[in-house]
Each structure stands twice: as C-alpha cells, then as structure tokens.
Amino acid sequence: MKPKVYIAKPIPKEVEELIANYCDYKIWNHEEPIPKEVLLKEVEDVEGLMTPKGIITEEFLAYAPRLKVVSNVAVGYDAFDIEAMKARNVIGTHTPYVLDETVADLAFGLILTSARRLAELDQFVKSGKWRGIEDDFYGQDVHHATLGIIGMGRIGEKIARRAALGFEMNVLYTNRTRKPDLEERYGIKYCETEFLLKNSDFVLVMLPLTDSTYQLIGEKEFSLMRSTAFFINCSRGKVVDEKALIKALQNGIIRGAGLDVFEEEPVEKDNPLLKMDNVVTLPHIGSATAKARFDMAMKAAENLVAGVTGKVPENIVPELKILIEK
Ligand SMILES: NC(=O)C1=CN([C@@H]2O[C@H](COP(=O)(O)OP(=O)(O)OC[C@H]3O[C@@H](n4cnc5c(N)ncnc54)[C@H](O)[C@@H]3O)[C@@H](O)[C@H]2O)C=CC1
Ligand SMILES: O=C(O)C(=O)CO
C-alpha cells in the first residue's frame, strides 16, 4: 500500500505525477489558502504533508498522529515549532538553493526601485504627466554606492555577487559566521553591525526569522543609519521592529525603504507604510517566478516522497537533522 500524503496547495502537473508514483494523495486545489478546519481533518491519517509555509504547532501535530514528514514549499521555516516536531519525531524539510538567484534578483529590484524611484515615476507617467521641475525626478546612484548586507547566507551571497561584480558597489556584511572565501572572491568586507549601519547607502536584511533575529533591527539601528540611506527587507517582516521603521521614515531618519515582507501578512490596509511615496511595497514575491516556484514545488515533492518511503530527504532543516541521526 502506498503511504498517504496531503498536499495543501495547488502544484504543477509534473510535480503531482511524481507524488502519484509513490503516494496515495489528496490536494487542496484552490487558490485561496486552505481553511484550518479542513487541513486538520485532512491530516488525521496522513504520513506526509506538503505545505506552503504551514504553521506546524504542537496543537496541529496532535491532529496528525501518523505524520512522519512536513515538506515546506519555502526555504524559510519559521512557522515550524522545532521542539514540538522533535518531540513527535516529525521531520521537517524546506527548499533551499533553488530560489536563491530569483530572490537576489528581487532584492536588487527593490534597491533600484527605491533609489531611482521607479514605482513613483511609473505612476507619474501613467497619470498623464511627463516633465516637472527636473530635480523632482532625481534619485540616488546605486552603482559604486555602499551596500550593507545583514545575513550573508545562500541568498545574501547572490546579492553580494550582483552588487560587487555587476554594480561595482562597496559591499559590507555581517553574519553569524565570517566568510573569508566570499571576501576574497568578491572583495566584500566583514564588519560590526554598527559600522555597517553607519556606512551604508543601502542596508539590506537577508536573515531567517528566529528567536535571535526577532526585531533585530529597531529604533537604535535606524538611528545609526545615514539620513540618505534606504532600508531593504526581502526576508521576514518580523526581523524588523515595524513601528520603529515607520517612525524612522516619518521623521526623516532614513530616506526610504523597499519591502517585500511585513510584520503582518497580508499587510493591513491602514499600515502607514502603504501611504509613503518613499516606500516600495511588494506582496511577498521574492521567489515568485514560474521557474523558481516550479523548482520549489518539485524539490518539496522529492523531500516529501523520500520522507514517507523510508529514505532520507535531501533538505531536512538543520535543527531536525538530529531525528535521522538517532
Ligand atoms: N521574500 C521572500 O520571498 C523570501 C524570503 N526568504 C527569507 O530569507 C531567509 C534567508 O534565506 P537563505 O539565505 O536561504 O538562508 P541562509 O540560512 O542560507 O542564510 C541566513 C544567514 O543568516 C545568518 N544568521 C542567522 N541568524 C543570525 C543572527 N542572529 N545574526 C547574524 N547572522 C545570522 C546565518 O549565519 C546565515 O548565513 C529565509 O530564512 C527566509 O525567511 C527566503 C526566500 C524568499
Ligand atoms: O521561501 C521562502 O522562505 C519564502 O518566503 C517564499 O519563497
């Protein structure tokens, strides 16, 4: 008998075919997110679950007593309660590498759109205008400026390469561990966070959301930034104290921001960030190209199938590798 799995989001046909070869499966085939009560019912007797950033808590796991693997269709796995999963011996997997270049492109899009005011000027032209006073259109140069990257992981590295080699930027970075190989390859410089904040024209966060990064960037950090600097976040909204960011923008402490992520998603309609011309806002689309999303779904399916057929999935999240080492 094939193992039972549940897929909590629509997936491409080829990905479904792979799962069908090995599993007895059901799919949530609707664009709107699966309602919690439906999901809790569907997972009652499954061994595997594939989910788009599904929230896996102790309460959830109690509804899924046969669950062996949760395959997250995302690289960020902050919605996993790692201790609860460890306690119930449930492996969690994610989709690293396949989206790195795509997210790095988007991060650069945010840098360019913020600095050169692309979204604002797009609206200007579409509203029937063309020329105003010339310096009304002035933005800031990206080439040869200083980019400070907080979080030099898989995606941070791809952003650093674009910045250093493509735009000839001066790249500073902070990270939990120093990366001398990248320093040599791209000429980037490791430094203290305070130095990075004081000396960057663009401060870009590319950190996972964990207990140690929750609201890591707050009032103090914004106060150290240049008044001409832009803040770019393409990782998770909660690594920033959003109230402090709003205050910094309202009071001219920093020049602008480019945001793909927010503290609450979908972003609340009355969030002051949505009213600011110097803030570029996107609906969490860092990995949203057809190819990257296909590759993520395929990788998640491979992890799911491995987890329910007695093999070791390729992309177990680091904190849960201990479960297969037992
Ligand atoms: N906007 C979007 O659509 C996307 C957002 N993301 C987010 O970006 C995050 C990063 O992705 P990757 O680069 O693949 O992860 P990664 O794990 O390769 O890199 C994260 C880096 O942050 C560093 N780090 C962790 N905690 C730290 C701390 N307290 N202080 C300093 N450095 C710390 C790590 O050493 C690592 O080098 C994901 O966890 C996810 O939340 C990822 C993909 C798309
Ligand atoms: O992969 C992730 O962590 C995302 O946020 C969406 O791609």
Q: Is 171 helix (H, G, I), strand (E, B) or coil?
A: strand
With cut-offs at 50, 70 and 90, classify the pLDDT of residue 93.
very high
Query: Are the C-beta atoms of residues 305 and 18 closer than 8 Å to each other?
Result: yes
CB atoms inside a 10 Å sphere around CB 154? 16
Helices 100-115 & 118-126, crossing angle to 10 degrees?
60
| CA distances to 30, 192, 221 from 33, in Å | 7, 41, 35
Percent of the chain clearing pLDDT 70 (strictly above): 99
> Closest Cα to atom 1, ligand 2: which residue?
74
Contact status, residue 267 vs residue 279, Cβ threshold 8 Å: no
What ligand 2 atom has the least distance to the C-alpha of 103? 7
Tell me which residue has its CA closest to atom 6 in ligand 2.
Answer: 74
Q: Which residues have a catalytic role annotated?
A: 236, 265, 284
pLDDT at 261 over 70: yes
- In this structure, which topology does domain 100-281 adopt according to CATH? Rossmann fold (3.40.50)
Note whether 204 and 235 are within 8 A (CB): no
pLDDT of residue 135: 76
Kindly state if the Cβ of 152 falls inside 6 Å of ligand 1. yes
DSSP label at residue 150: E
Neighbours of 297 (CB within 10 A): 26
Q: Which of 82, 181, 206, 234 has the most ligand 1 atoms within 8 A of CB, as the residue to mutate?
A: 206
Interval between CA 235 and ligand 1 midpoint (Å):
7
Strand order in the sheet with 189-190: 189-190, 170-174, 146-150, 202-205, 230-233, 256-259, 279-281
Q: Is 103 helix (H, G, I), strand (E, B) or coil?
A: helix
The mean per-residue pLDDT over the stretch 207-215 comes to 98
Largest Cα span, the chain:
72
Nearest atom of ligand 2 to the alpha carbon of 292: 7
Is 52 touching ligand 1 by the criterion CB < 6 Å? Answer: no
State the pLDDT at residue 4.
98
Ligand 1, atom nearest to 155 Cα: 13
What does pLDDT average to over the chain? Answer: 97
Structure confidence at residue 326 (pLDDT):
66
Q: Tell me how far the alpha carbon of residue 126 lies from the centroid of ligand 2, in angstroms.
A: 32
269-309 pLDDT, tens digit per residue, is 999 999 999 999 999 999 999 999 999 999 999 999 999 99
Q: Are 205 and 232 in contact (CB under 8 A)?
A: yes
Instruction: Select from 98, 161, 235, 259 the residue to mutate for testing ligand 1; criterion: most ligand atoms less than 8 Å from CB.
Output: 235
Residues touching ligand 2 (Cβ under 6 Å) are 74-76, 99, 286-287
Matching fold, domains 4-96+290-324 and 100-281:
yes
SS3 state at 26? strand
Residue 311 has pLDDT above 70, yes or no: yes
Identify the residue whose tokens are 């109690």: 62
> Any idea what DSSP says for residue 261?
-
Strand, coil or helix: 119 = helix
Q: Which CATH superfamily is domain 4-96+290-324 in?
A: NAD(P)-binding Rossmann-like Domain (3.40.50.720)
Determine if ligand 1 sits within 6 Å of the CB of residue 29: no
Assess whether the C-beta atom of 207 lies below 6 angstroms from ligand 1: yes
| pLDDT number for residue 54 | 76
- Average pLDDT for 182-209: 98
- Would you state the pLDDT for residue 132? 72
Give the integer Cα–Cα distance in Å for 18 and 27.
14
What value does the mean pLDDT take over residues 236-263?
98
CA 314 / ligand 1 centre spacing (Å): 19
Contacts of 61 (CB under 8 A, 6+ apart): 67, 84, 85, 88, 90
State pLDDT tens for residues 107-139.
999 999 999 999 999 999 999 998 777 777 899
Q: Which atom of ligand 1 is nearest to the CA of 234?
A: 1
Domain boundaries, the chain: 4-96+290-324, 100-281
Q: Tell me the best of 50, 51, 53 to mutate to test the pocket of ligand 2, counting ligand atoms within 8 Å of each CB and taking the most.
A: 53
pLDDT digits (tens, 9 = 90+) for 39-51: 999 999 999 999 9
Closest ligand (CA of 97): 1
Angle at 268 between CA 266 and CA 269, to 5 degrees: 115
Q: Phi, psi (5° rounding) for residue 204?
A: -120, 130
Token pair 């609340």 is found at: 268
Q: Is the entire prediction scored with pTM above 0.95? A: yes
Per-residue pLDDT tens for 1-40? 999 999 999 999 999 999 999 999 999 999 999 999 999 9
User: Does the beta carbon of 153 lie inside 6 Å of ligand 1?
Assistant: yes
287 lines ligand 1 (CB under 6 A): yes
Question: How many Å lie between the centroid of ligand 2 and the Cα of residue 221?
Answer: 25
